[in-house]
């Protein structure tokens, strides 16, 4: 049976402590990269990859996300009256984008727990998970690249990226072997994975990045997984258990990733995205040049 990926889950209930104090009263997913909230980049990627149902796992203090994807009658009326048609189009485009379902994770008990919270809304079908912090600039949306692999293998697929040894301890790291097939050396079969290993214990230089395609078997596995590092239910622990039941692949995606949940990563992404904009690129470049940094 060839199963399709229609549902995309966005875990967005984390506390965003790396971005305090900005995230004290607003979700980090709503921080703007130039003029668009981080999470909208992820939603646009999921839609471009063919997902038509978006599921957001939110928590306390995250209502701005719901408002963002909802209709704003007052704002639309004012923009209409003031004949600001282009802005009206931009605002309408967001709420017209798609139907979004929300489920609340009452406590931030970890990414694995957030995924498990989406169980009822996902049901018994394979689905995508996108961590909105990982904004990936790619010619072909990364989720689309991964869905192609899923359609061929019908197995869970993890996005992976080669990471320098100095940075590897910040990630879930994969032990892999090259997979057969025609993927230009980008596809691996996953043998094992370790969450945030010391550099000398890392099984490879392949880090897990915030895009996953998972089979629904992950739910049973997560519901039986013990709480791990930091008192949280870790997705990596669930994936390791799933690996004992099913084959799983890792795909070295094509694209440029920005970790926008980190302050430096956010600044770099802001600069790169602004420089690419038709309306802002030239004056912004001129401004940066004039800074005469040493």
> What is the b/e burial string over 246-285, where b = at least 16 CB atoms within 10 angstroms of the residue's CB?
eebbbbbbebebbbbbeeebbeebbeebbeeeeeeeeebe
Residues forming beta bridges with residue 227, ordered by sequence position: none
> Closest CB to ligand UTP among 17 and 85?
17
* Terminal Cα-to-Cα distance of the chain (whole angstroms): 60
> Closest CB to ligand UTP among 69 and 187?
69
Rule CB under 6 A: say whether 108 interacts with ligand UTP. yes
Per-residue binding string, ligand UTP, 6-25, x by CB under 6 A, is -----xxxxxxxxx------
> Closest CB to ligand UTP among 221 and 235?
235
> Closest CB to ligand UTP among 129 and 248?
129
CA distances from 51 to 92, 148, 152 (A): 20, 13, 17
Q: Are 171 and 257 in contact (CB under 8 A)?
A: no
Q: Which of 41, 54, 56, 105 binds ligand UTP (CB under 6 A)?
A: 105
Per-residue binding string, ligand UTP, 244-273, x by CB under 6 A, is -----------------x------------
> Closest CB to ligand UTP among 110 and 255?
110
Rule CB under 6 A: say whether 121 interacts with ligand UTP. no
Count of residues touching ligand UTP (by CB under 6 A): 21
Site for ligand UTP in 186-225 (CB under 6 A): none
> What is the b/e burial string over 156-195, where b = at least 16 CB atoms within 10 angstroms of the residue's CB?
bbbbbbebeeeebbebbbbebeebeeebeebbbebeebbb
Per DSSP, which regions of 138-262 are E strands?
156-162, 172-178, 187-195, 206-214, 248-252, 256-259
Whole-number minimum distance, CB 233 to ligand UTP, in Å? 8
Q: Which of 5, 49, 126, 133 binds ligand UTP (CB under 6 A)?
A: 133
């Amino acid at each position: 049976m060839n199963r399709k990926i229609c549902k995309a889950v966005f875990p967005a209930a984390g506390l965003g402590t790396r971005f305090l104090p900005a995230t004290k009263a607003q979700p980090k997913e709503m921080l703007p990269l130039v003029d668009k909230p981080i999470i909208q980049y992820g939603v646009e990627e999921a839609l471009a990859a063919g997902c038509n149902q978006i599921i957001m796992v939110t928590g306390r203090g995250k209502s701005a996300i719901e408002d963002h994807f909802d209709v704003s009658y007052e704002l639309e009326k004012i923009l209409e009256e003031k004949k600001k048609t282009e802005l009206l189009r931009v605002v309408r485009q967001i709420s017209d984008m798609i139907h979004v379902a929300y489920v609340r994770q009452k406590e931030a008990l970890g990414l694995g727990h957030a995924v498990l919270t989406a169980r009822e809304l996902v049901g018994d079908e394979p689905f995508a998970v996108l961590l909105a912090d990982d904004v990936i600039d790619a010619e072909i949306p990364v989720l689309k690249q991964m869905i192609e692999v899923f359609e061929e293998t019908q197995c869970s697929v993890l996005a992976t990226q080669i990471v320098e040894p100095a940075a590897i301890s910040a990630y879930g790291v994969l032990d892999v072997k090259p997979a057969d097939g025609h993927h230009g050396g980008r596809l691996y079969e996953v043998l094992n994975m370790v969450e945030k290993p010391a550099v000398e214990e890392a099984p490879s230089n392949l880090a897990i990045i915030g895009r996953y395609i998972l089979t629904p078997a992950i739910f049973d596995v997560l519901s039986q997984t013990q709480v791990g590092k930091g008192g949280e239910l870790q997705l990596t622990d669930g994936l390791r258990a799933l690996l004992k039941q099913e084959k799983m692949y890792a795909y070295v995606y094509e694209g440029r990733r920005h970790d926008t949940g980190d302050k430096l990563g956010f600044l770099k992404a802001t600069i790169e995205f602004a420089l690419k904009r038709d309306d802002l690129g030239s004056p912004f470049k001129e401004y940066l040049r004039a800074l005469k940094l040493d």
